Chains A and B, each alone.
Chain A
Amino acid sequence: MPSLESHSIDQDYIASASLEAFGLMQITFQGAFENCGDAAVESHYIFAGLPVRIRVVGLRLAEYTLSPFSHLRTDHKNSDILNLTIDFWDESETGIPCPIGLPVSDLGLYRTVTASSDSRFLSDRDWRILMLLDRETRHAIGSFRSLERFLMADRARPFNRLLGLWYRDRGVHVIHSAMVSRNGNGVIFVGKGGSGKSTSALACVCAGLYYLGDDFIGLQEQSDGSFLGYSLYNSSLLDPDHLVCFPRLVPYAIDSGSAEDPKSLILISHAFPERLRRFARIRAVVIPCVVSAAHPRIRPASKGEALLALAPSSLRLQINPGSRELDQLARLVNRVPCYWLGLGENVDEIPQCIEELIEGIES
């Protein structure tokens, strides 16, 4: 892993010029927003119970970046109490370039995230995109060079790095899990990639349970020791082999058209808009695993097994994680019952296992 010293040039630049850079981006965006008429879109959301405004200049960029948040949208607009503003424009559609120099395509290809020396500003950029976050004023601003370079991962989870920090600043920690719920009682599916989290969550939403996410969930510990899980995105990314398990989702698959970006994007807000929830109380932890069996089966898991499945990939998502974050995950698995879910051959039988689990919790 590169050390921070290898980014010292970037950090010195950001430290000394961050306020000026942010101001330049603001002026440029404001000009784009005021002068691009119908290409400017403004919408309001509730992220983890907090009001957020997103303004995008560029209709296609708006479609790409706002769709995963559509279930969090609100008609209630109060610009006086916003907890976050995100401003973003499409350089190609508007003809307005980013005023901050971006790396040329042959250099700086890989994404870098840097912070100003006072930690107030965060920059997330590669040669396609620049996003700046001012943590003090709760304002994120950015530009995108060309939609031709928009990856499926960008469409599924827009602004994920900066949003992760904004959530953390508000006591919500992004964890690597899927989540479904019924009657406000939520079950999270945890484990490394390929263990069956997405399969389990998508099988459940196809069967009528509520969906909160298939990869990232916002975790918030309450004062009474319980935990809420917040939906962050209504998207799912599926390999072609995986998508065929869900024939009801196939009509909604969005493909990149590129062999280099093979996954399909599914927006649950398109497939099952009425089956989305913004949050639920976490009542159980389930560890899916692939087994050679005809039918899915649930059996108890130890707290250690649950923490081992949840913590390594969840801590990787978090900002400067340490013992405090691991302790919080330990409190979560200690608080609720934990189970293994052997997936079996028939995904259609998974929802019944989960519904019976929730019924047992509710009774």
Chain B
Amino acid sequence: MLNLQTRLQPNEKEVASKIMDGEAIMINLSTGVYHSMINVGAVIWELIEKRYSLEEIIKTITEAYDVSLAQAQADVERLAAQLIEEALVSISDGGAPTSTYQSPAPSQRVPYESPRLNTYRDMNDLLALDPPMPKIDDVPWKSPSGDS
């Protein structure tokens, strides 16, 4: 059950993610389903990576963007539920953010758009046809000359 004190964390066992140029890309390596979020959504993902609570995320969003508290809260709660449903995040045990978010424009609030999670399932069929690879560790090998 989510509340405003809930902290989420990326599902690092199954999900690889990257933020580039204001776009967050998240790939579930087990299912092949991948997602993207831009602008506000990418900021929220970054705040989740830093273990901000939902309340802290909402506060950061309302400080950075021209949006009401009620709208921001509704959008953050909706998005959090979607991220959990897609197994992109889980609830964190941590008690405080791991680092601080630096707003790119701290002196002014920029225009706001509700965050949207874009989901792509076109890899599913390919995964069904290809066998999964087992877990493989690194194996030291000798060079052809016999030296390690």
A-side residues, CB < 8 A to B, are 1-2, 4, 7, 11, 80-83, 110-115, 118-120, 122, 135-136, 138, 161, 165, 169, 192-193, 302-305, 307-308, 311-313, 315-316, 319-323, 325-327, 330, 333-334
> Nearest-CB distance from B130 to chain A (Å)?
8
Q: Which of B95-148 contact A (CB under 8 A)?
A: 120, 122-123, 126-127, 130-142, 144-145
The reply to whether B137 and A81 form a contact with Cβ atoms under 8 Å apart is: no
B93 within 8 A of A: no
- Known contacts A135-B141, A319-B136; A311 and B25 CB within 8 A of each other: yes
* Contacting residues, chain A, for B22 (C-beta < 8 A): 304
Q: Which of the listed residues A4, A122, A304, A334 has the most CB atoms from chain B within 10 Å of its own CB?
A: A304
Known: A7-B134, A312-B123. A305 touches B23 (CB 8 A): yes
Q: Are A115 and B131 in contact (CB under 8 A)?
A: no
Contact (Cβ within 8 A) A304 B38: yes
Question: Are A113 and B132 closer than 8 Å at their CB atoms?
Answer: yes
> Beyond A4-B135, A312-B32, A313-B126, is A326–B16 a contact (Cβ under 8 Å)?
yes
Given the known inter-chain contacts A312-B27, A312-B32, A315-B29, please indicate yes or no for A81 contacting B126, CB distance below 8 A: no
**A361–B84 alpha-carbon span in the complex (Å):** 44
Q: Does the CB pair B131–A4 fall under 8 Å?
A: no
B12 within 8 A of A: yes
Q: Which of B17-40 contact A (CB under 8 A)?
A: 17-18, 20-23, 25, 27, 29-32, 34, 36, 38
Q: Using an 8 Å CB-CB cutoff, how does the interface string of B37-52 with A read, 1 for contact, 0 for none?
A: 0100000000000000
B126 partner residues in chain A, CB cutoff 8 A: 193, 313, 316
Given contact pairs A115-B134, A136-B140, enumerate 16 new A-B contacts (beta carbons under 8 Å).
A1-B132, A2-B132, A113-B133, A119-B135, A119-B136, A135-B139, A161-B133, A302-B20, A305-B23, A307-B20, A311-B25, A315-B27, A316-B32, A319-B133, A326-B16, A326-B18
Question: What is the chain A residue whose CB lies nearest that of B19?
Answer: A304
Contact between A136 and B20 (Cβ–Cβ < 8 Å)?
no
C-alpha gap A137/B18 in the complex (Å) = 36
Contact between A83 and B34, CB atoms less than 8 A apart = no
A304 to B38, CA, bound (A): 9
Residues of A within 8 A of B12 (CB): 323
Query: Closest residue of chain B to A325, judged by CB?
Result: B16
Q: Which residue of B lies closest to A334 (CB)?
A: B20
Q: Are A320 and B136 in contact (CB under 8 A)?
A: yes
Count class of interface residues, chain B:
35 or more
- B residues near A, CB below 8 A? 12, 16-18, 20-23, 25, 27, 29-32, 34, 36, 38, 120, 122-123, 126-127, 130-142, 144-145
Contact B134 A113 (CB under 8 A): yes
Q: A1-B30, A82-B144, A308-B36 are in contact. Are A115 and B122 (CB under 8 A)?
A: no
The minimal Cβ–Cβ distance linking B17 to chain A, given in whole angstroms, is 7
A62 vs B32: C-alpha distance when bound (angstroms): 35
Q: Are A81 and B23 also in contact (CB < 8 A) when A304-B36, A316-B127 are?
A: no
Name the distance in Å between B108's Cβ and chain A's nearest Cβ: 23
The CB with the most chain B CB atoms within 10 A, among A114, A120, A319, A322, is that of A322
- Chain A: which residue is nearest B37 at the CB level? A304
Question: Cα distance A135–B134 when bound, in Å?
Answer: 15
Give the CA-CA distance A138 to B140 in the complex, in Å.
11
Q: Are A138 and B120 in contact (CB under 8 A)?
A: no
Q: Shortest beta-carbon distance, B43 to chain A, in Å?
A: 13
Residues of B within 8 A of A307 (CB): 18, 20, 23, 25
Q: Is the CB of A313 within 8 A of B144?
A: no
Contact residue among A11, A308, A321 (Cβ-Cβ distance under 8 Å from B23): A308
Which B residue's beta carbon lies closest to that of A84? B144
**Is B16 touching A321 in the complex (CB atoms < 8 A)?**
yes
Kindly report which residue of chain A lies nearest to residue B16, judged by CB atoms. Answer: A326
CB–CB B139/A120 < 8 A: yes
